[in-house]
Every structure is written in structure tokens, then in C-alpha cells.
Copies of this chain bind each other. A is one copy, B any other.
Amino acid sequence: MPRPQKHVFVCATQRPPGHPRGSCAQKGCAEVSDEFMFQYQQRQCFDKVMVTTCGCIGPCGQGPNVLVYPEGVLYSGVSKDDVAAIFDEHLLGDQPVERLRAPADMW
């Protein structure tokens, strides 16, 4: 596995129903990470991009959260329908998707 130019971390944290912090799982992160993996396979960009699930990265109430390094760009409230834009504009086009970024006071 070569070192990727863009590394996407999709939060996969689960907490029990009723937990005060909620979780990205409750907000549909499995569908989001599945879509990232599907589009990754479609684009065959294995030498440029890596997609990895991860544990909690903080702002659970605004999930699903997706973090892209090396820039450290956090996307919050990501839906399945947002994944293509993140892939094409940011991961392959190198321009973060401003409308999906977490607020500056959150990250």
C-alpha cells in the first residue's frame, strides 16, 4: 500500500440508543463509509486515496463526520449524496468542498 496523497477517515463510532452524546452510527455513517468505498472502487484511485474508518473524532452531535488529511479538513453532517462531491472536488481535485465543512468554531 503506497502512502496516499489524500487519506479519508470516516467516523464509525457506535453508542447505545439514548446515549447523551449520540454517535455517527446513529446518524448514518455506515451508509457514508460504504459509499466512500464504492466510489473508491469505481474510480480505481488506489495510488492516490485511502479510505479508513475511525473512532470518535469529537463533534458527535454534528455527524456523520469525515476527516481528510493531510489538510485536516473536517466535514460534518455528511450524507451519502455528498460523497461524490468530496471525491471529485477534494480528493481528486484538491479543492475542499466548502459547503460541507464543519464550522470554524467546531474544528
Q: Give how many A residues have a beta carbon under 8 Å from the other chain's beta carbons.
A: 23
Q: A83 — which chain B residues lie within 8 A by C-beta?
A: none
A18 contacts partner chain B, Cβ-Cβ < 8 Å? no
Q: Are A55 and B57 in contact (CB under 8 A)?
A: no
In the assembled complex, the Cα of A69 lies from the Cα of B3 at a distance in Å of 12
In the assembled complex, the Cα of A3 lies from the Cα of B57 at a distance in Å of 10
In the assembled complex, the Cα of A34 lies from the Cα of B99 at a distance in Å of 36
In A51-70, the 8 Å CB interface with B consists of 52-59, 67, 69-70
Q: A7 — which chain B residues lie within 8 A by C-beta?
A: 67, 69, 72
Nearest-Cβ distance from residue A23 to partner chain B, whole angstroms: 14
Scan A65-91; emit 1 where CB is below 8 A from any B CB, else 0: 001011110100000000000000000
Give 14 A-B contacts (CB < 8 Å), ordered by A residue: A1-B59, A1-B107, A2-B107, A3-B72, A3-B74, A3-B107, A7-B72, A9-B54, A52-B54, A52-B55, A52-B57, A54-B55, A69-B69, A70-B72
